[in-house]
Amino acid sequence: MTNSKLFSRSGWRLIGMGLISLGLVACGSDSDTESTYEYEVTITNLTAAQPFSPVAVVLHKENWQAFELGESVSEGVEMIAESGDNSLFLQDVASNEDAYSGVSGAGIVGPGGSETISVEAQASGTISLSLVSMLVNTNDALTALQTVNVSSLDVGDAMSYRLRTYDAGTEANSESADTIPGPAAVGGLREGFNSERDDVRDEAYVHAGVVTQDDGLATSTLTQAHRWDNPAAAVTIRRIQ
Amino acid sequence: MKLGTKLIPALILASGATASVAADFDVTIQNLTRGTYFTPLLVAAHPSSASLFSSGEAASANLQAMAEGGDISGLASDLDALGATQSNNPAAGLLGPGASATASLNTDSAEANTLLSIVGMILPTNDGFVAANGIEIPTAPGEYSYYLNAYDAGTEANDEIRGSGAPGEAGYPAPGPIDAASGTGGTGVAATVEGYVHIHRGVLGDTDATGGLSDIDSTLHRWLNPVAKVTITVR
């Protein structure tokens, strides 16, 4: 695996923009190798009571990834994981030379619900697709698809994946109504993003699931209904162009 | 279990590899759980006629010793008798949450060893273990990823309290970091021996560090599958 990740906002965005400008100039003399790739990404929420935050979909080079298991996540990923807000993540994508394009779904994808999101890029060589979304009735749970090679898909063809869930490792899993932004946090402060990192360790890992008040966690605002198992989502990627 | 399956046929076709079954490769195992530890891992390439266990069937005595106490010596002897290529205990002890360890294997002089198996006990559990049960070892150079599930050996009741790592004795062993993160004074979860190897149902745990049913911490030691990532890098 590569260690390529999103970099912090300061500095790298300017550098990235500079490189993109250079890249565009370079592409001008090499445009015959570039094509338009367009995909429709359909995500279905397979959980009982965990709405998904607006889904961020990214087309990128093989050496970019949204986050790496066992490593600290970027602030953009932390913000999705804790609040569901993907704006910083997509800003970082827009300024990263290894990412072609990034888009957000229109809104929340509720339990049992689906959304189809279109994403396209002018690119050559290998094109990978990733997506990230928060399970909003949690402290910092994500579902994600990481670095699927979509450049070999023929127009009209599709492939399907089942997604598991991850803990961003950025927020303690108190499950309290003060710290969960979703609708399960009745009567609480519903805090979203908080830059403090206070989970058992500051690394992404496979989510252990929620404990809930029904299973004895006194601080939890969640009930048994908010539990889930893997897979938490189904994704179909269809190439349109 | 295999995320890499879509990749493998493409790579094999690309290289035209068909005849050679020997491989020189690294195996990296990463613990993906929130708070469990893996005991010394058995990492072995072995003939396709062998397997360490079969889901739905009773565990062997040597699998039981691994799953209840982390002792892989019996399984290693079994595999030695079959001419397996082994590189055991790559973490030189416990493999903690989030941590990785890499073993190197070479089957150039043992071409019959076409399957990779990996097992290690998951702590704290009574008889839970992480397993790859006979992954077909790719031969074309490249990087291949697999995700492993947690199994229950079915040899010990999951009472979830501290106890013994000896086969047939109740409770789970609690070396260093397990001792530090486990509760005490649990009265024991009412459970029975299942009798066959199966996908682990997970631990119950509780939030009472000095009592309750379980000595396992429900906010730290639970997991959902997969519990480990394996990366095979073929040279």
Q: What is the CATH number of the domain that holds A159?
A: 2.60.40.2130
Residue A209 lies in a domain: yes
Q: Give me the mean pLDDT over the A210-239 stretch.
A: 98
**pLDDT, position A5:** 35
CA-based nearest distance A17→chain B, Å: 32
- Cβ of A206 under 8 Å from any chain B Cβ? yes
Are residues B224 and A209, on separate chains, in Cβ contact within 8 Å? yes
Taking 90 as the threshold, does the pLDDT of residue A73 lie above it? yes
**Cβ <8 Å between A230 and B227:** no
Task: Provide φ and ψ at A93, rounded to 5°.
Answer: -60, -45
Total domains, chain A: 1
Q: pLDDT class for A14, splitting at 50, 70, 90?
A: very low
Q: How far is CA A20 from CA A26, A43, A86, A101, A128, in A?
A: 10, 30, 22, 12, 18
Q: What is the pLDDT of residue A132?
A: 98
The neighbour count for residue B188, using CB atoms within 10 Å, is: 16
Kindly report the CATH number assigned to the domain that includes residue B3.
Answer: 2.60.40.2130
- Do the Cβ atoms of B75 and B66 come closer than 8 Å? yes
As a whole number of angstroms, the distance between CA A202 and CA A168 comes to 8
Position A62 confidence tier, pLDDT thresholds 50, 70, 90: very high
Average pLDDT for A108-121:
98
Q: Nearest-CA neighbor of B217 among B232, B207, B227?
A: B207
- How many whole angstroms separate alpha carbon A225 and alpha carbon A157? 36
pLDDT given for residue B10 in this prediction:
38
Task: Tell me the chain B residues in contact with residue A1 when contact means C-beta distances shorter than 8 Å.
Answer: 143, 231
C-alpha distance from B213 to closest chain A C-alpha (Å): 11
pLDDT (0 to 100) of residue A34 = 86
Q: Which two tokens stand for residue A102?
A: 């990034």
Residue A20 is assigned to a structural domain of this protein: no
What percent of chain A is predicted at pLDDT more than 70?
87
Q: Total structural domains in chain B?
A: 1
Q: Say how far apart CA A210 and CA B56 lie, in whole Å.
A: 29
- Is A115 among the domain residues? yes
Alpha helices (H) in B58-143, listed in sequence order? 61-69, 73-81
State the pLDDT at residue A15: 35
Mean of the per-residue pLDDT values of chain A? 89
**Test the A interface: residue of B224, B225, B227, B233 with most A CBs within 10 Å:** B224
pLDDT value for A8: 34
- Rounded Cα distance between B178 and B97, Å, is 12
What residue of B is the nearest CA neighbor of A204?
B98
Please spell the DSSP secondary structure of B173-233, one letter per residue. ---HHHHHH--------------S-EE------BS-TTSSS-SSBTTTS---S--EEEEEE
Which structural domain range is residue A191 located in? 34-239
Q: Is A14 domain-assigned?
A: no
Contact residues, chain A, for B32 at CB < 8 Å: 69-70, 205-206
Choose from A159, A171, A205, A227 for mutation: most chain B CBs within 10 A. Answer: A205
Secondary structure class of A21 (helix, strand, coil) = helix
When pLDDT is averaged across residues A192-214 and rounded to a whole number, the result is 97
Low-confidence ranges of chain B (pLDDT < 50): 1-20
Which residues of chain A lie closer than 8 angstroms to B146, CB-CB? Answer: none
Q: What confidence tens digit (pLDDT) does each residue in A172-186 have?
A: 999 999 999 999 999
Q: What is the pLDDT of residue B14?
A: 39
Q: Which of residues 70-109 of A touch B (CB under 8 A)?
A: 70
Question: Is the bond preceding B167 in cis, omega lying within 30 degrees of 0?
Answer: no
* Cross-chain CB nearest to A205 (options B98, B143, B219): B98
Count residue pairs from A and B with Cβ separation < 8 A: 70
Mean per-residue pLDDT, A232-241: 98
CA distances B133 to B71, B92, B147, Å, are: 18, 22, 12
Q: Helix crossing, B61-69 with B73-81: angle to 10°?
A: 150
For residue B202, what is the nearest residue in chain A, using CA coordinates?
A208
Total residues found in chain B within this entry = 235
Residue A27, pLDDT > 90, answer no
ipTM of the complex: 0.87
The predicted structure's pLDDT at residue B15: 41
Tell me which chain A residue has its CA closest to the CA of residue B208: A216
Residue linked to tokens 């209904």:
A225
Confidence at residue A42, expressed as pLDDT on a 0 to 100 scale = 98
Among the partner-chain residues A159, A207, A216, the one whose CB lies closest to the CB of B218 is A216
pLDDT of amino acid B22: 82
Residue A33 confidence (pLDDT): 77
- Say yes or no to pLDDT of A43 above 50: yes
- Alpha-carbon distance of A155 to B40, in angstroms, equals 48
Q: Is B218's CB within 8 Å of A211's CB? A: yes
The answer to whether the CB atoms of A70 and B219 lie below 8 A apart is: no
CA distance B40 to chain A (A): 19
A158 in contact with B, Cβ within 8 Å: no
Range of the domain at B10: 1-235
Question: Is the bond preceding B97 in cis, omega lying within 30 degrees of 0?
Answer: no
Using one digit for the tens of pLDDT, what is the confidence trace for B158-173? 999 999 999 999 999 9
